[in-house]
Amino acid sequence: MAETKKRHWFKTIKKILLWLFVAQFVYIIILRWVNPPFTVTQLVSLVKGQGLKRDYVSYNEMSANAKLAVMAGEDQLFPDHNGFDIKSIKLAMKYNKKHPNKIRGASTISQQVAKNVFLWQGGGFFRKGLEVYFTFMIETFWSKERILQMYLNVAEMGEGIYGIQAASKAYFNKDAINLTRGEAAQIAAALPNPVRFTVKPVSRFVAFRSANILRQMANLEPDPDVQQLIK
């Protein structure tokens, strides 16, 4: 009798896991065209009382300056890699061994989308493992344009502010399509910690980093693969 119950529970668990796998796969495919109704990070923001300012916009409603700025600031190899920047990961691991109190990340835009859309903030091997899986999946089934669009729509860009359109309205009182190079660079400069590093008023970190991002934007812009993404 006990053995029969074990087999029953084993089959039930297998069915549940199978349905969960199918459901997440279908969800990934749907999000190739449809924006997520919410993310875990956005829900946490609401629960904490930080509010939720969010307004999804299409790829064509995003300034080329915004697309270029986040690549310059967050992931300069985005057009070319398959979701992972192995060189940067190795450098970060080497740095973190020498500076355990100053952890440096090496997440690509694709990895950040995987985390922001499907997972939760924080670390841990389990979450990192899931991040690798979802990064592989979106790189396989989405286009680079869709990944960049999703990043610019769901990334936290201030306390309770998510996406480039909400950030543009909050900081510069304009639509994302009209962002100047300097404005886009300031928003991109805050991305490592948009609650701590403020765009309005401009923090010292954002002022310093945005100047560097502007220089990197000028270096990246002529690249044909970058041009294909920002047009």
Alpha helices in the chain (DSSP H): 2-30, 40-47, 64-74, 86-98, 109-118, 125-141, 144-154, 164-172, 181-189, 204-220, 224-230
Query: Which are the contacts of 129, defined by CB distance < 8 A and separation ≥ 6?
Result: none
HEC sequence for 16-77: HHHHHHHHHHHHHHHCCCCCCCCCHHHHHHHHCCCCCEECCCCHHHCCHHHHHHHHHHHCCC
What pLDDT sits at residue 99? 45
Query: Which pLDDT tens digit goes with each residue over 159-191?
Result: 999 999 999 999 999 999 999 999 999 999 999
Alpha-carbon Rg for the chain in angstroms: 19
What pLDDT sits at residue 95? 46
Residues of the chain with pLDDT under 50: 95, 99, 103-104
What pLDDT sits at residue 140? 96
What pLDDT sits at residue 103? 47
Q: Are 198 and 190 in contact (CB under 8 A)?
A: yes
Q: How far apart are CA 87 and CA 111, in angstroms?
A: 15
Q: Which domains does the chain have, with CATH numbers?
A: 36-52+59-230 (1.10.3810.10)
